[in-house]
Amino acid sequence: MLRLPSLTLFLALAAGSAAAAPAQVGRVDKVERQAVAVLDGQPRDMTLGGPVYFNDMIRTGGASRLESQLADGTKVTLGEHAKITIDAFVYRPGQRGGRLDLNVVRGAFLFVGGKIEGPTGGNVAIRTAVGTLGVRGTTVWGGAIDGGYGVLVLDGIVTLRTGRGSVTLRKGQGTMVYAGRPPQAAAPWPEDRTKRAVATISFQPAR
């Protein structure tokens, strides 16, 4: 488990705290090729073991991957040409009531939930290009695939809410969202699509 001294008691951040020193909410566990974070207009390269700060805008380059771990154990992996921000992070170790809001602006991602999800979930929201994911005990992939936007649940339960409807997915189920249409019914994905989805966030084997 990642331990950050500034988070061991309480962390609740809002946009109005920008004048304070940046608050570290996680670290970089893996990086392949290029990933950059921008905070208050200042870019920095993301390196192995380097910090992830609240309100970071994180981008990956071509053929790049990034895996980060937040203070509660949540893991987020990004594929190439991804862009994501951490819009809310509240974590009280050993207590309920945490909150995590992620905004995946573009690119493929894999989310593995940590302690903030709690025993009943409902404390984590992931905004995507097509709608918002509410997650419970979850490992979930999302990204552009096969001419639309796909969501695949590898563990747990996910509800995708869009402007044209919603769908609840359980382990092994996925959905596709195409422009102007509601999300498709939950169903297992073809093996080929699943493999291609996983490949978008997989790191190259170490040589």
Q: What is the pLDDT of residues 105-132, one digit of tens each?
A: 999 999 999 999 866 665 899 999 999 9
Q: What is the pLDDT of residues 154-206, one digit of tens each?
A: 999 999 999 999 999 999 999 999 999 999 999 999 999 999 999 999 999 87
H or E stretch including 197?
helix 191-199
User: How deeply is 108 buried, as exposed, middle or buried, from its count of CB atoms within 10 A (0-12, 13-18, 19+)?
Assistant: buried
Domains along the sequence of the chain with CATH: 5-199 (2.60.120.1440)
Give Cα separations from 183 to 6, 90, 174 (angstroms).
Answer: 40, 30, 10
For position 92, what pLDDT does the model report? Answer: 86
For position 10, what pLDDT does the model report? Answer: 36
Read off the DSSP letter of residue 6: G
Q: What is the pLDDT of residues 20-68, one digit of tens each?
A: 789 999 999 999 999 999 999 999 999 999 999 999 999 999 999 999 9
